[in-house]
Amino acid sequence: MYICAQMRKRYLFFDIDGTLIAGGYYGNNYIPASTMTAIRKLKEDGHFLCLATGRSEALSRAYMEECGIDNMVSDGGYGITIDGELLGIRPLPREDVIALIRECDRKGIPWALQTDNSDTRLAPDGRFNEVARDIYQKTRIVPGLDPEDFENLYKAFIAGYYPMERSIESLKRLPWCRFQDEYIFVEPADKAAGIHRMLEHFGGRPEDAIVFGDSKNDLSMFGDDGWIRVAMGNASDELKEKADLVTTDVDQDGIWNACVTLGLVKPD
């Protein structure tokens, strides 16, 4: 579907993994050159650029700096960074997370927690790492780790293969998503709320916004908020069904091609 963006100021919000960067979670990710070119041209033309990610602010800041983008909706919509300054991150419902961890303990399911804005999660023993085996985030072992010792709980990570999640009753009260075969992420999934906060702060209107995503945790951005919704070619089928425009894959000039189609940049 072709959509003319018109040459007025636009507010663009980019998911990171699978949208802005290619290569996955395992240390070989990169921002395609065509994406960097699109970002440069969009900035030169005065458009507002912002990241919109499920990642923590600490795990996203390097991508902000690489792209030269000063604003970010992080932590699945619960974190707001404006002009390079983190204004705050709202935690998950504490009692619901504690109930989840207690249930996992009863059932012998390994877990880890994010208790601050850093690149490190905490686990009570080595069982989580034995199952997860990833380098998405550092894990520090804290013997006797108890979620009740922390005022704020930002994320939880539950180790196990599908359909493990079906056996955990406490998950029904929390947002979660499976990005990896080995474990699930229990984290906020309301990027749309963060986008509305950002638009309000900068005086933008929903009809002037364009969002880009690829995964299930982008679904909140693909509701009926009035903005243009762009799904990457590598996006989930569910997201593509809700999109106004489906572009090519992230590693096949997806961002660049979308911006050309939308009339935001001119092809060389």
Measured distance CA(71)–CA(50) in Å, rounded: 5
213 φ, ψ to 5°? -155, 175
Is residue 268 pLDDT above 80, yes or no? no
Q: How confident is the model at residue 136 (pLDDT cuts 50, 70, 90)?
A: confident
Q: pLDDT at position 1, please? A: 42
Block residue for tokens 């091609």:
257
Give yes or no for a contact between 101 and 123, defined as CB atoms under 8 angstroms apart: no
Query: pLDDT tens for residues 183-225?
Result: 999 999 999 999 999 999 999 999 999 999 999 999 999 999 9
Query: pLDDT tens for residues 25-68?
Result: 656 889 999 999 999 999 999 999 999 999 999 999 999 999 99
Amino acid type, 198: M
Q: Which domains does the chain have, with CATH numbers?
A: 11-89+189-261 (3.40.50.1000), 94-186 (3.30.1240.10)
Block residue for tokens 């293969």:
161
147 φ, ψ to 5°? -60, -25
